[in-house]
Structures are given as structure tokens and as C-alpha cells.
Amino acid sequence: ATAVALAKEVGPAFKDGFWRTGQFSKVSDFAAEDKLGNKADCVTAVDRYIEKTIFDRLRQIYPTHKLVGEESTAESGNGCQVTDDPTWIVDPVDGTNNFVHHFPYTGISIGLAINKEPVVGVIYLPILDELYTASRGAGAFLNGEPLPLIRPPALTSPTALSQCALVSEHGSYRSQKTMSLRLRSLARLLTDKQDGGGCLQNLRITGGACPDLTLVAKGSAELYWECGPHVWDFAAGVVIVTESGGAVFDGAGWWGSDIPESERIPKPLNMWNRKIVAVRYIPDLPDKPGSGRELQKKLAKELLDLVDDFEYPP
């Protein structure tokens, strides 16, 4: 409830910044800066305003909780450390590059982790008017409707990558090494195989890790893959995906609402700076209980086998 109230509270400022109206109507107020001279990685007065507003409130409500935010971490220059303490993990404007270009796939992400495990996730995409909410064991919702929105039989059970849509992001580190590994991976994923084995049915790039994860939770894309997102890019989104029946994988294990302890990623938040794959809820095949979970693993493995492993920053 706190995360939802905070997201709603800063929504009007987000919209003002996006449309350059109200309190952010002066372009000088709005001006985007490059983080550390990286033109693809920008920050605006709106990012700082929203993060500060959310953190000020959280400090009042939960004085002992830890806070990790994209902008304060960037400004401190010390990186971020997530401990076992209750920790709020906030990206005030995920997809800032979209925000600057008035491209609507951008939003506010608020996650809460306890023992390094994300347990609450709220993503608000104000321009699309979509509020995603989830907490561990209690399901995931879009504007109050349970996720995934698309349900069986309309929601099918893909058995191969060739039946899948992937959402994936470039990140903002564009060195030659990083980009050539990424583009080589995408070429493998998109090219027909000689043996008739499938490439992906489609690839979409929205420009934001958070909107991507909401598309997977909604059932609009089967897979999300990215190498090296930051913890604030996925802390809320992985709760929303897993509570919608999806699963999240990294090289070391996987994470989902009913995954046995032995198969789980030990500390999901250590996934930072590694590859991460999210797979949407897959209904069981007729008369095959458990087959949906097996298909999630199979698709993630097929994808991970085709992509290079690279780190950000390179």
C-alpha cells in the first residue's frame, strides 16, 4: 500500500515532466544531462525530484529501512550494496531515454527486498495509465485485474523459441565490445537455422527494462532477456513477473512463486550485472501437470545457449 501510494503521489510530476507542463514546463527545469559523459544514459530534474520525494516519505514512514535508488547511487559514485535489511529499491524514471523522447514506455519502479529477496513490486507507467502491483504469495495485478491478463486457451503454451516474442534492451553502455557481442547474440536469435530449428518469432525493444517485465507479466511477450541490468531495473519487475506465474532465471538458478528451495537462485539480488531472463506464465499442456514449468526452463535454456555473456560496464 505504501509503494502504491508513493507511485500515485509522484505520478503528476512524472506526467508534467513527460509533457513539459506544470512544474516542469520550463525546458531549463527539465534539461537532460548525460551520466558520466555517456550520451545514451541520461538523467533529468524529474528523476531527481521523484527519487527525493519517494525517499523523503520512506524515511518518515520506515526510519530503519535501507534505501537504494538509481540517481542517489549514481551521484554517490560508490555503487550500491543491498544487505539483508528491508531495502526499498527505486528507479524514479525507468527508461529515461524514452522519457526524454516522449516515448510512452517509461515509468516509476518501487521494489522492497527483505533478506535480499524482492517481496513487493510496484511499477507505474503513468503515460500508459498502467499500475502493476505484486507482493510475494499474493499475486500480481494490473490496475486491479489479476495477471496475466490473457488467459488459457487464448494464452498458448509455446514449446520452442520459434513461437516466442522476446523483449530485450541494449542497456546504455555502447562500447564496441559490448555492442558487437549483443548484436551477434541478436543475430543468432533472429536468424533461421539451417536445420529448420526456429529463430524467435519476433523481437521488440521498448527502451525500458521495467516496461519489458510488465509485458512478460501481462502475457504480451514470452521472454525478456538483458545482460547487466541494475538492481533498480528489475527488483519490482521480478516480483510482478513471478507472481503472475512467470519465472526468472540467471545462469545459477531460477526464481518463481512455487520453485523448490533447491532450484532457486540463492540470493536473487546478486543477479546484478549478470544476464537475466524472464519467462511468462506457461499453462500446462493437456494431461501433463508441471509441463508449464518445464517449458519455461526449456525456453530460457534455449535462449541462454544462443546468447553471449557480457557484462556492463564492459
Among 161, 209, 221, 236, binds ligand IPD (CB under 6 A): 209
Residue (171 or 245) nearer to ligand IPD, CB? 171
Q: Is 7 helix (H, G, I), strand (E, B) or coil?
A: helix
How many contiguous H segments (helices) and E segments (strands) does the chain have? 9, 15
Contact window for ligand IPD (CB under 6 A) among 79-87, 93-101, 280-288, 289-297:
93-101
Q: Say how far apart CA 139 and CA 303 lie, in whole Å.
A: 27
Minimum distance from CB of 127 to ligand IPD (Å)? 14
Q: Is 12 helix (H, G, I), strand (E, B) or coil?
A: helix
* Among 88, 86, 90, 97, CA closest to 33: 97
* Among 214, 244, 240, CA closest to 119: 240
Residue (51 or 282) nearer to ligand IPD, CB? 51
- Is residue 229 close enough to count as binding ligand IPD by CB under 6 A? yes
- Is residue 233 close enough to count as binding ligand IPD by CB under 6 A? yes
* Among 151, 114, 115, 111, CA closest to 133: 111
- Is residue 104 close enough to count as binding ligand IPD by CB under 6 A? no
Number of residues interacting with ligand IPD: please give it, by CB under 6 A. 17
Q: Which of residues 162-201 bind ligand IPD (CB under 6 A)?
A: 169-172
Minimum distance from CB of 125 to ligand IPD (Å)? 12
- Confirm whether residue 130 is marked as ligand binding: no
- Is residue 44 close enough to count as binding ligand IPD by CB under 6 A? no
Asked, as a colleague might, if the bond just before 12 is cis with ω within 30 of 0, I would say: no
Give the DSSP letter string of 213-248: HHHHHHTS-SEEEEES--HHHHHHHHHHHHHTT-EE
- Confirm whether residue 51 is marked as ligand binding: no
Residue with cell 514449446: 159
> Which helix (DSSP H) or strand (DSSP E) does residue 111 occupy?
strand 107-114
Among 11, 118, 126, 208, binds ligand IPD (CB under 6 A): 208
- Is residue 95 close enough to count as binding ligand IPD by CB under 6 A? yes
* Cβ contact 225:275 at 8 Å: yes
Q: Which of residues 58-87 bind ligand IPD (CB under 6 A)?
A: 70
Among 51, 91, 250, 302, binds ligand IPD (CB under 6 A): 91
Residue (91 or 302) nearer to ligand IPD, CB? 91
- Confirm whether residue 34 is marked as ligand binding: no
Binding site residue list for Mg(2+): 70, 91, 94, 233
Binding site for ligand IPD (CB under 6 A): 70, 91, 94-97, 169-172, 207-209, 226, 229-230, 233
